Amino acid sequence: MTIDDSFTVDAPVERVWALLTDIPKVAACIPNAELTEVVDDKTYRAKVSVKVGPVSVGYKATIHVEQIDESTHTAAFRIQGDELRGRGGVKAAVTSQAIAEDGKTRVTLHTDAQISGIVASVGGRLIESVAKKTIREFAANLANLL
């Protein structure tokens, strides 16, 4: 499943980029997520919970920073998550980019995810709407933190 989305933050790209590359701070902006361990400067562990339709699922996840390109304000991450109850999981590649636009910053997100377990059985349309809602909440939290 591929999900593309973007949002605009009323702050200069340098400030937004600095926050987006501070994983512990940016993790606090993700709804229903908690950073549980900083393994090293490129590897993090977290707990995440999601509700898709009638299904609520918790995941333990490992986030690995694949690449951070300061010149293009682009970052790539790999995420591996397992359901806490052990019935499924998620693998995702996420690429984000911060783009300056008239004193503001547009953040684009491209996610390529493979989902298994109970969440996958609920269906793609619900998953996509939950993902887009989560991104809207993340954007609002990011703007508040800035």
The CATH number that applies at residue 24 is 3.30.530.20
CA 101/CA 93 separation, integer angstroms: 26
Mean pLDDT of 77-92: 93
Provide the domain count of the chain.
Answer: 1
Which pLDDT does position 54 carry in this prediction?
85
Smallest CA-to-CA distance from 83 within 60, 53, 111 is with 60
Count of other CB atoms within 10 angstroms of residue 106:
16
CA 21/CA 26 separation, integer angstroms: 8
Comparing 66 with 117, the larger pLDDT belongs to 66
**Strand ranges inside 53-125, DSSP E:** 55-69, 74-83, 89-101, 104-115
Which pLDDT does position 90 carry in this prediction?
93
Domain enclosing residue 82, as ranges: 2-145
**Report field, pTM of the whole predicted structure over 0.75:** yes
- pLDDT over 90 for what percent of the chain? 79
Comparing 1 with 105, the larger pLDDT belongs to 105
